[in-house]
Structure 1
Amino acid sequence: MDIVSNTPIAGQAGGFAAGGQPASGGGLVSSDFETFLKMLTAQMRHQDPLNPVDSTQFATQLATFSSVEQQVRTNELLTALGAQMGALSVSQLSGWVGMTARAEMPVHFDGAPVTISTRADDLADRADLVVRDRDGKELQRLPIETGRQELEWAGVTAGGAPLPSGAYHLTVESFAADELTSTDPVYVHARIVEARNEDGRPILVMDSGQEVESGDIVGLRQAQ
């Protein structure tokens, strides 16, 4: 058994310099590596001289630890890279502040008409704009044209009285021969007032207070 020849290998495994010192930073990984070296040294010192441990076992242990150590470092680098990308995304999205975005989200009604975009099934012969409250209860059903269009939802009852202020969920139901063929989302137009990074996700805040991820924005235009 050649114990001396294995010592330099242990000192250089997993990106560490001789003597067990980390080549670049350490922290918890460095502490764990020093503990591993102490355990390995103790194992070598107290092995049975009549039945020594095969040197390939030491090499296997070093290779296993090196693999784990490299994975830990990779995860740390990916986490740091994700944070940097999130900050970069917010910097890029800052140019969106002040613009009008179109996204699938609840309508925040405060008494003023809300601009929405709808698209009914192209094969439908009629379509309805369906308004529901937070609990999913249907409050209103308005006939609209089929196809794609932009319109103003006034938020009033059949008698002309305004609905209470709050959030409403709007969908478009398409019918062919009185059979429901599809239910499609309604896209709401709102002005962006803030862009921020939240848990690594770029978030856009609308003037209504609603928050939307940047990936959910399907259209942008200059605010009127």
Structure 2
Amino acid sequence: MDAVSGVTSTAAQTSTSSSSNSATAIASDFETFLTMLTTQLENQDPLDPVDSQDLAVQLATFSGVEQQTRTNALLEDLGGQMGLMNLSQLASWVGMDALASGELYFDGSPIEIRPEIPAVADTAELVVFRSDGTEVQRLAMDTSAETALWAGVGADGNPLPDGAYTLAVASTARGEELPLGQVSAYREVLEVKASGGGTQLVTEGGIEVDSSSVISLRQPL
């Protein structure tokens, strides 16, 4: 079973279970309502019977609640189906390189990056952070660079340890520090899965990227 079909099966089972539970709840509530209504009629005062209009209101109220519950169940089913459709559409992304910002995995091989350098910047540096937020490297950059390669080589000439890193751009304009800019990087998509109402792309190192944050896709070089 592949990653996408596994998620699809699970999502479908969850949607079916939700609909089944809603239907069971409606049936149970309807039986309870009929029991209460029958008891009310059996124990009413013959000299002061329940007004037929009151009965009509009660029936209409329950009918409205029942209809709303059914509508909610249908909407849940529809949402589940939409999620499955999204997964199916994104299945073709598996094996491709996705360009996105955020944490990435370094395994010793150079990574192509796209830094966001403000047009007004006089100087720019690539800042590298470990997953715990510790800064491990700063490299001077060309302020006009649209793309670059991050080799991941430390000051001692040796590659940084394999692991998760976050890249950012530190720049200045007329001696004033500018806010850190984001750095996007290409990473291979290994899996597509549904998570928290959205769709996540699983990349090397188990790092997840929200599909909505992907800037572009390309075939692996």
Q: Which residue of 2 aligns with 1:221?
A: 218
User: Aligned letter for 1:221?
Assistant: R
The structure carrying a bigger helix percent of its residues is 2
User: Aligned letter for 2:92?
Assistant: G
User: Aligned letter for 1:30?
Assistant: A
User: Aligned letter for 1:152?
Assistant: L
Aligned-partner SS, 1:27: helix
Q: Which residue of 2 aligns with 1:101?
A: 98
Which 5+ residue runs of structure 2 have no aligned equivalent?
A: 1-21
Q: Where do residues 196-207 of structure 1 align in structure 2 (5 Å cutoff)? A: 196-198=193-195, 200-207=197-204
Aligned-partner SS, 1:69: helix
Structure with the bigger RCO (C-alpha within 8 Å, sep 6+) is 2
Q: Where do residues 132-171 of structure 1 align in structure 2 (5 Å cutoff)? A: 132-147=129-144, 149-171=146-168
Q: Which residue of 2 aligns with 1:29?
A: 26
Which 5+ residue runs of structure 1 have no aligned equivalent?
A: 1-24
Q: CA RMSD in A?
A: 2.0
Return closer, same or farther for 1:192/1:27 CA change in 2, 3 Å cut-off. same
Counting matched residue pairs gives: 200
Q: State the distance in 2 between where 1:75 and 1:145 align.
A: 55
Deviation sequence 1:46-87 (CA, Å, 0-9, x none): 122333333332222222222221221122112211221121
Tell me the TM-score normalised to structure 1 length. 0.80
Q: State the distance in 2 between where 1:47 and 1:55 align.
A: 13
| More off after superposition, 152-161 vs 53-62 | 53-62
Q: State the distance in 2 between where 1:139 and 1:171 align.
A: 12
Deviation at 1:131, TM superposition (A): 1.0
Q: Any conservation in 1 of the 2:106–2:163 contact (CA below 8 Å)? A: yes
Aligned-partner SS, 1:162: coil
Percent pairwise identity:
48
Return closer, same or farther for 1:157/1:76 CA change in 2, 3 Å cut-off. same
| Residue in structure 1 matching 2:184, options 182, 187, 191 | 187
Q: Any conservation in 1 of the 2:103–2:131 contact (CA below 8 Å)? A: no
Q: Where do residues 54-69 of structure 1 align in structure 2 (5 Å cutoff)? A: 54-69=51-66
Deviation sequence 1:143-167 (CA, Å, 0-9, x none): 2122561111111222322211111
